[in-house]
Amino acid sequence: MSETLLEPLLRASAETFVMVAASASIAIAAGLPLAVALVVSAPTGLSPRPVLHRALGLVINVGRSTPFIILLVAIVPLTRWLVGTSIGTVGALVPLAVAATPMTARLFEVALSRVDPATIEAAKAFGASRWHVISRVLVPEALPSLVASGTVMVVNVVGASAMAGAVGGGGLGDLGIRYGYQRFQPSVMVAVVAVLVLLVNVIQRVGDGLARRLERAS
């Protein structure tokens, strides 16, 4: 691999890393409360709110069913308003976070609803308020599966971030398309894919290891 290729590859990797880390963090921060709201408002949940539950579910489904490439373009005005630009790493961050949030909410919903209902009942019996049940039982008990779900989500965001390259989003996808595809440099394409494969593997390993360590307690 030539010197001239190494430098853009490193820069693109760093951009991808920043994009994925930032948008995944936002998705977790927004997705966890949404998931909690879904589980708590469910008909058999801690405080059933069927209308809210269905409305939330609908919004999340709309978010999830919109293809990322369409979402990317559709929310350009929102992106401009939020971060001042719709291109580059920062410009790709907003649509990535918006796309990852509903997915995270659904994944976390599954993780939370696997918590043994008896432990929630027990907490209530011992004088836990609703907030206590959520913060001391529901989320902590689900932590290992939340981490495992989060890993799936992050890997998904890595894939989506490569797509953001198509609209000038920066990062590895951008590099691959511009050099590899448009300039006919297959070696760049191969290098980009290799870096992505490596990145995904590292993420999966770290996530699995963390989930297992959290699980070991039980």
Q: Does 213 bind other proteins (CB under 8 A)?
A: no
Candidate residues 84, 126, 182, 184; the one interacting with other proteins per rule CB under 8 A:
126
Candidate residues 25, 61, 129, 201; the one interacting with other proteins per rule CB under 8 A:
129
Q: Does 127 bind other proteins (CB under 8 A)?
A: yes
Both tokens of residue 210? Answer: 């963390």
Q: Residue 23 in contact with residue 156, Cβ under 8 Å?
A: no
Distance of CA 218 to the CA centre of its chain: 26
Collapsing DSSP states into helix, strand and coil, what is residue 126?
Answer: coil
Q: In the complex with other proteins, which residue's Cβ is closer, 33 or 140?
A: 140
Scan for tokens 């408002």, then name that residue: 41
Q: In the complex with other proteins, which residue's Cβ is closer, 44 or 182?
A: 44
Q: Does 34 bind other proteins (CB under 8 A)?
A: no
C-beta of 51: minimal distance to other proteins in Å? 16
Amino acid at 30: A
Amino acid at 31: G
Candidate residues 62, 122, 190, 206; the one interacting with other proteins per rule CB under 8 A:
122
- DSSP string for 205-217: HHHHHHHHHHHHT
Scan for tokens 């390993």, then name that residue: 205
Binding mask 135-164 for other proteins (x = CB under 8 A): -xx--xx-xx--------------------
Candidate residues 3, 125, 182, 183; the one interacting with other proteins per rule CB under 8 A:
125
Binding mask 71-110 for other proteins (x = CB under 8 A): ----------------------------------------
Both tokens of residue 6? Answer: 């190494």
Strands (E) across the chain are located at none
Whose CA is closest to 143, among 97, 105, 108, 101?
A: 108
Q: Residue 164 in contact with residue 95, Cβ under 8 Å?
A: yes
Candidate residues 2, 118, 183, 184; the one interacting with other proteins per rule CB under 8 A:
118
Both tokens of residue 47? Answer: 């405080």
Q: Does 121 bind other proteins (CB under 8 A)?
A: yes
Q: What is the C-alpha separation between 171 and 168, in angstroms, rounded?
A: 9
Stretch touching other proteins by CB under 8 A, among 18-26, 28-36, 89-97, 122-130: 122-130
Residues in the site for other proteins, rule: CB under 8 A? 116, 118-119, 121-130, 132, 136-137, 140-141, 143-144, 214, 217-218
